[in-house]
Structure 1
């Protein structure tokens, strides 16, 4: 059976065998389905829906549904699914990651499981890495689904609420992962059910799943609002930081991305600002601004982490090399970078809502994903998302030649050899794709090629608009393309005429990335669909990977290395060293994501409680009745707290207690006795007033004006206090990694203290809502009195 279905026997045959049986059954139906008229083929959709309604499952329908989509694709697009694409579709249906080589047709694969799951009527989200691919795939694959009677939508930034709502109400919705996440956050900031755009989650199919779930895991999605301007403060801090010296005045941990002032650095800052103690509470804003300015100067590099474009700081996605349009850093860090670059300060952003990509996609009951590079991260996919990685064999034999790394002692030696290699291959007309890790490096290499009069194209965050076109032409004869990590994922490189005879596309990596997976993505640009191609990494020990993770080890290693006249290291052990340092880097990043997720899970639990409470207020038929149950314990809690603080009962300031209770009770409290012998006596004395308060509240249940006002003010209270809580938790999270606890796990400390902070938040929310309800009802009662008089 394998010989008939696949070009060669894969190593993971045992894993694929159950799926291959189904592929054979799909193939057996092909001749029959080819005989159907268009109307007969289209009618399959309603038949499948009816069978699902009668109790069958999507897995019962998989063979027939896939055969239907394959035939529809042949008719509508002229594209017939290969056996390996059917195989991949079945793997995705079972909540797995399908690892498919570049050029194997992942876009067409998505049409199979998305059609079948969409028949359940609960919505399917197809996630891509950028807007261009989302639009392209929706327009292309959407034709198949629409032919079969399904609706297809697209969610992108700048759409109106009604447009987004229409897109999410479609059977299948395309979009970028971050936009799906932002729509979720926005849905939890609305003040009515009608404003929400998303339906409950069902199934997400993620293209380039490693990029979405692993590379973007470090960057939370944040919806922020503007705060009071503090530009002058950051400008002064930028001036102060420039006078500080590394090691003497501050320390840097490049691995952890952490900076700290030394005692000498603190003393210098105190002298600049003319203050006695920078750690005094009154100087906390200044200390925070100084720390952010230090981060901006030491950890953020121009043309690596950001670019300056038309007087604006634009952030670069370190994994893709793309500009993150519309994204800015929060908590003053963006303003600190602006001041560093001498730009006008924008208003500071404060977080209103946030979620990590990890926790967003974990809300989907079912996930599937595709990528060319996932096996190296199999443990993380299984541990975090409960997904297995299944390697899919190629449709045609892979002919790519991967040459061993060429490792040079210095960057200068590496560049000299690189230019010679480019000239040699360019002279015979072979197309070259040169991969770099940053804009800075891509421009350095571009300058070297210009000196040699070698015509080339540079693709980085500054030229991203032409990305798809530049990459699609990279396989043409004589073409030289320099690209940062973005390298046009999702766009095929098709070889020009006569290029196959020259050896196909040759890919040169100029640095090893911090993950082998990113290197494999670059190599995967060559030799698609059985084409010839080759790859090589030309690197140096001065590259970022080695400087960041092996600086000390390199000093010990260098004297032992054999080096030829070109500066090329000839010691065979160098390859094991490179591999070892990359494993260290990967291990560190995995541990960091795992640690970060544990901290984020604490906040995620809190977010779920707040959003559930908020949604109940929005959807409650009678919001006063709902809130009564939430706030009815507030007066008693206030008495307990007051007595706990003013702990000597004989000395209690009863007038002060009465004044506090009057803020949440409709009828004024007054104490007939001068003192009480127990807290229970105080509660008993006040109980008649509390009972009268809630009786009066019930009398207003049908007042629509009060219902509307209370609903609106409750959401306002929740949103504002949640925003402050997020800020507090962010500062706590920031400090917890560098605070030293006595033999205590920082995650447990974060959980415990986070729980205490959250309990206080919820009590405060209920108290504030009680205050507003009381104020509204007192005003209404006064109005009624005036009307009667």
Structure 2
């Protein structure tokens, strides 16, 4: 009782504090208006210097936007910038000018003496926004740069030297990973983290928070067994293997095991000699065959497998599954198996974000992600009302018993709207569904444009024209598309004519697992006070309903809402437990990183070896100069530190792959994992020392330095980066078992 009273009391105090802060920020924005006339009279050369209070800065930023961009920020944009400057995530509706609000907030941080990274969801948006806002930054005396996947090391250093740097969140992370392998200070690229401002904050901080960014070194191909892939393709579902649709898992039946054993020459699949080799190969091939579907989970394009980012509906650049599964899918599709690579280091986006001293952001659906943002980042959410009230009409869901009935109704509704000339945007769950609907519309005589992972490079142009008279656009996930849909298209032609028809009509062909993804789709209509409408078509045999609300004796509308709540709750629980799993590794990485940075920047390695190997140190010091000796000891120690860390990550991967065995033994897997990880980590420091001393005692060091390659201590001749999709099947029950829930 006392604890409940205390919690309620603190919530009351926090609520009052939020109201008070909101009032104060509204007063600051109002005060900015009182400076407008004075600031407007200043010449460009004096504008950036005419800043004292926050209100004066906002007034100057508004005037600078007018002069440089021809855009006068609304009060709500200044309010959004003000909230972001306080380290909060701002919810602003689509079309409300988040890009300009973010630029003003970033310039405000620079004014306070801090460098800013603005994280976008992809390269296109990073470059577009940086170039778009560049005139504003220049007028405010702020230097801006951007990085993309193709940026060279020199281009990256130049971009990071600017006051504000735009880039995809993954690019910032990959630069951190690459910096952890350099052997000279001059080769470092990324600066010390300061402020991170995140666009599409819910997508980056929640949907992709636990995606590991990976730096890999050259290795042999992963070596999927094409014979096993062909064998698995011949197996019959329901006869040779069973798929658990709830957990998204698959297993051989007794008949399937017999068929596999016979095809492989009469082996015993479960004999000791097969359990560590053939059985895993069969299982991973079976998972690739039964659970990963072409045009849903991945595409095959230009002879390569491209994973589809489910939260964004586009190909996930440089993303792959763990090597065994990646190779199995490639073998399934009969394409060349890509190199697996040895993982040199990895970093989750959540760990990367946590390294910044200040975090803020913006999105159209922050409130729905508020619990995760508070729990994992200690971030508060502030809602900024639209500049003009939203008049979009959101119809109740249209619910059908079967998908067949639903699909027919969708085509009929689209045809009816199209006949009037009203533009229609249709959201579909995956590539296959978008193309199936497009074919049905073509059969009904309704032309449409399809936007999915096959043509995501054209997305900006397609989305920009989705509001023209008579347009029908069928798209996969709209979150993070980054381009407004204006009635009448980019030139606004026929705006009034389309508005009279009701504005853009948004049709959802299924409910998403997260309500905020539904809201992202809805939010494409009704921008800046324009009319618009939205409606979702749902069937009771949609995947979401079947998996998360299987009971058929409930009210249909309740079942759909219940399915979303269950899915969202499961995702939150998995995020929390997976965060605990990665947190320990992140702490270990920080310790190793501090040690590595000290070795890189100081003579720590030389001092350590002078103490532990004094005779050898004196011997070498008599033949080479001090700088050469210091550099040689540095290179030796860095090599072994990097090698031991890579081995530690490989060990943790092995431990995690066997984690389900602890669950079967009725022990809490997470606790056992932490115990194994801590034990292994304690061995790293003495192992580094032992190997370093051995090399120092035996390797030849000359006036030219130390040749580690000649001593058989070779670093990878090439490295590459990618994201690894660790949970491709989304199996809730499997993951619950994994974490002992």
Determine which of 22, 25, 29 is the counterpart of 2:28: 22
1:43 to 33, 49, 71: 49
- Conserved in 2, the CA contact under 8 Å of 1:151 and 1:171? yes
Residue of 217, 242, 258 corresponding to 2:233: 242
Indicate yes or no: 2:365 matched with 1:365.
Answer: no
**Which whole-Å CA distance do the structure 2 matches of 1:272 and 1:202 have between them?**
59
Counterparts of 1:756 and 1:251 in 2: how far apart (Å)? 39
1:489-528 to 2 correspondences below 5 Å:
489-496=481-488, 497=494, 498-528=497-527
- 2:724 aligned with 1:772, yes or no? no
What's 1:199 paired with? 191
Listed as ranges, the matches of 1:598-747 within 5 Å are 598-621=580-603, 623-627=605-609, 632=612, 702-737=625-660, 739-740=662-663, 744-747=667-670
Structure 1 pair 43–574 and aligned structure 2 pair: CA distance change class (3 A):
same
Q: Any idea what the Cα deviations from partners look like across 1:371-429, whole Å, max 9, x if unmatched?
A: 01011121110110000111111110110110000111111101111111111111111
**Residues 734/245 of structure 1: CA separation in 2 closer, same or farther (3 Å cut):** farther
- 2:308 pairs, out of 300, 313, 316, with 316
| Gap change, CA 1:593 and 1:259, over 3 Å in 2 | farther
> Tell me, what secondary structure is at the counterpart of 2:343?
strand
Counterpart-to-counterpart distance in 2, 1:778 and 1:100 = 61
SS in structure 2 of the partner of residue 441 of structure 1: helix
Give distance in 1, aligned partners of 2:85 and 2:433: 41
Structure 1 contact 69–111 (Cα < 8 Å) conserved: no
- For 2:569, which of 569, 574, 587 is the aligned residue? 587
Q: Which residue of 1 is the match for residue 76 of structure 2? A: 84
Relative to structure 1, the CA distance from residue 156 to residue 202 in structure 2 (aligned partners, 3 Å threshold; closer, same or farther) is: same
3-state secondary structure, aligned to 1:43: coil
TM, length-normalised to structure 2 = 0.87
Structure 1 256/30 Cα, relative in aligned 2: closer, same or farther at 3 Å? farther
| 3-state SS of 1:393 partner | coil
Q: Which residue of 292, 298, 315 maps to 2:290?
A: 298
| Cα deviations by residue, 1:642-669 (Å, 9 ceiling, x for unpaired) | xxxxxxxxxxxxxxxxxxxxxxx7xxxx
2:339 and 2:245 map into 1 onto residues whose CA distance is 29
Q: Is the 8 A contact 2:662 2:668 kept in 1?
A: no
C-alpha distance in 1 between matches for 2:189 and 2:397? 50
Mapped to 2, the partners of 1:462 and 1:250 lie a distance apart of 31
CA-to-aligned-CA distance 1:140-162 (integer Å, 9 cap, x gap): 21211111211101011121111
Q: CA deviation at 1:743?
A: 5.0
1 CA distance for matches of 2:284 and 2:77? 49
Residue 427 (structure 2) pairs with residue 435 (structure 1): yes
Whole-angstrom CA distance in 1 between matches of 2:623 and 2:354:
42
Match of 1:413 in 2: 405
Match of 1:106 in 2: 98
1-side partners of 2:194 and 2:91: how far apart? 23
- Residue 738 and residue 25 in structure 1: after superposition, are their counterparts in 2 closer, same or farther (change >3 A)? farther
Q: Residue 475 of structure 1: SS of its match in structure 2?
A: coil
TM superposition shift of 1:127? 1.1
Q: Where does structure 2 lack aligned partners over 5 or more consecutive residues?
A: 1-17, 489-493, 707-741
Q: Deviations over 1:738-787 (max 9, x none)?
A: 6316554322211111111222333322221111111126999xx9xxxx
**CA separation in 2, counterparts of 1:395 and 1:311?**
48
Q: 2:477: which partner in 1?
A: 485
Q: Displacement of 1:716 after TM fit?
A: 2.7
Give a deviation string over 1:206-251, Cα, whole Å, max 9, x none.
11101111111242111223422343x4212212333545577656
Q: CA deviation at 1:63?
A: 1.9
Report 1:363-402 matches (<5 A): 363-402=355-394
**Greater mean alpha carbon deviation, residues 478-487 or residues 202-211:** 478-487
Asked whether the equivalents of residues 204 and 364 of structure 1 are also in contact (C-alpha less than 8 Å), the reply is: yes
- 1:94 to partner: Cα distance: 1.3
Cα distance per residue 1:718-747 (max 9 Å; x no partner) = 333322322221232233256316554322
**Structure 1 vs Structure 2 CA RMSD:** 2.5
Aligned partners of 1:599 and 1:733 also within 8 Å = no
Provide the aligned length of Structure 1 versus Structure 2.
Answer: 679
Partner of 2:60: 68
Q: 1:223 aligns with which of 178, 202, 215?
A: 215
Counterparts of 1:695 and 1:622, CA distance in 2: 16
Of residues 150, 157, 162, the one that matches 1:158 is 150
Higher RCO structure, 1 or 2 (CA under 8 Å, sep 6+): 2
Matched, 1:761 2:684: yes
Which position in structure 1 is the counterpart of 2:5?
A: none
Change (3 A) 1:610 1:697: farther
Q: CA deviation at 1:463?
A: 1.1
Note the C-alpha offset of 1:278. 4.5
Partner of 1:545: 544
Unaligned runs of 5+ in 1: 1-11, 49-60, 558-572, 633-664, 666-690, 784-789
* Matches of 2:391 and 2:652, distance apart in 1: 52
Q: Which moved more, 1:245-254 or 1:36-45?
A: 245-254
